[in-house]
């Protein structure tokens, strides 16, 4: 995968069909986030047995995970994460996967540092459809329900932001809600991306079932 160019300043064409997202099972789909008008790039993937076992081990106990890292993507990241896992003796596969993803993020955005968060969640972190006011974020769900998002045709942007009695619902069509799958690597372009103001991808956190926990990874470049 070659280093992607800087975000284009060209005015994007905001079609209401599938032209604003890209999906594929190869890492080459991720640089499409740099294309004007693309607000979501998803690499679909299946988690192998070793990684699934490592994830399950972290969720077997009662202790949650709330780990944050900002820095390089070298061995220090992996060592720090391992110290914060509930089942560190079974954490190698998960740590290796997160380091690989962080390295890809740093390479794609030509940065020496990344911000990384790994959290267990028992409720919806952001239950209302919203747009991130940053340039871009990568997310992947390791366990539990994955993030939901809306195609542009299903969004009423006048309803975004803090709820208010005078605001309409941001969701035009409940049947149009899309959902990522466990393991998917998704780049979400936000409102802070130059040239994408007012067109960030609209998404939300789903509500886990009673007794269910999500394990969510989020990465920011720089």
Residues listed for the chain? 222
pLDDT of res. 17? 52
Q: CA angle, 44 as apex, 42 and 49 as ends, to 5°?
A: 145
pLDDT of 37 higher than 60: yes
pTM: 0.88
The answer to whether 207 and 122 are in contact (CB under 8 A) is: no
Q: CA 157 to CA 41: how far, in whole Å?
A: 21
Instruction: Classify 186 as helix, strand or coil.
Output: strand
159-213 pLDDT per residue, tens: 887 777 888 888 888 889 999 999 999 999 999 999 999 999 999 988 888 778 9
Mean pLDDT value across the chain: 89
130-163 pLDDT per residue, tens: 999 999 999 999 999 999 999 998 888 988 877 7
Tokens of 49: 């047995």
Q: Bigger pLDDT: 1 or 218?
A: 218
Backbone angles phi, psi at 40, to 5 degrees: -150, 125
Non-local (6+) Cβ contacts of 13 within 8 A are 19, 36, 37
pLDDT of res. 18? 60
Q: Bigger pLDDT: 167 or 112?
A: 112
Q: What is the largest CA-CA distance in the chain?
A: 53
75-98 pLDDT per residue, tens: 999 999 999 999 999 999 999 999
Mean pLDDT of 34-45: 96
Q: CA 67 to CA 89: how far, in whole Å?
A: 17
pLDDT of res. 123? 59
Q: What structural domains does the chain harbor?
A: 20-221 (2.60.120)
């Amino acid at each position: 995968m070659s280093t992607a160019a800087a975000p284009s300043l060209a005015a994007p064409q905001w079609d209401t069909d599938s032209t604003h997202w890209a999906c594929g099972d190869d890492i080459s789909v991720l640089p499409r986030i740099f294309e004007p008008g693309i607000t979501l790039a998803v690499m679909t993937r299946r988690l192998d047995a070793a990684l699934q076992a490592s994830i399950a081990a972290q969720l077997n106990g009662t202790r949650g995970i709330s780990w944050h890292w900002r820095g390089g993507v070298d061995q220090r990241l992996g060592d720090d994460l391992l110290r914060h896992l509930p089942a560190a003796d079974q954490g190698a596969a998960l740590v290796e996967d997160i380091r690989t993803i962080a390295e890809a993020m740093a390479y794609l955005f030509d940065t020496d540092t990344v911000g990384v968060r790994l959290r267990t969640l028992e409720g919806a972190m952001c239950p209302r459809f919203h747009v991130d006011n940053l340039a871009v974020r990568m997310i992947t769900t390791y366990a539990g329900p994955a993030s939901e998002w809306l195609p542009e045709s299903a969004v009423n942007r006048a309803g975004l932001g803090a709820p208010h009695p005078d605001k309409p619902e941001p969701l035009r069509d409940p049947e149009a809600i899309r959902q990522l799958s466990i393991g998917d690597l998704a780049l979400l372009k936000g409102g802070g991306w130059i040239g994408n103001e007012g067109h960030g991808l609209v998404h939300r956190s789903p509500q886990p079932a009673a007794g269910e926990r999500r394990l969510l990874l989020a990465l920011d470049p720089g």
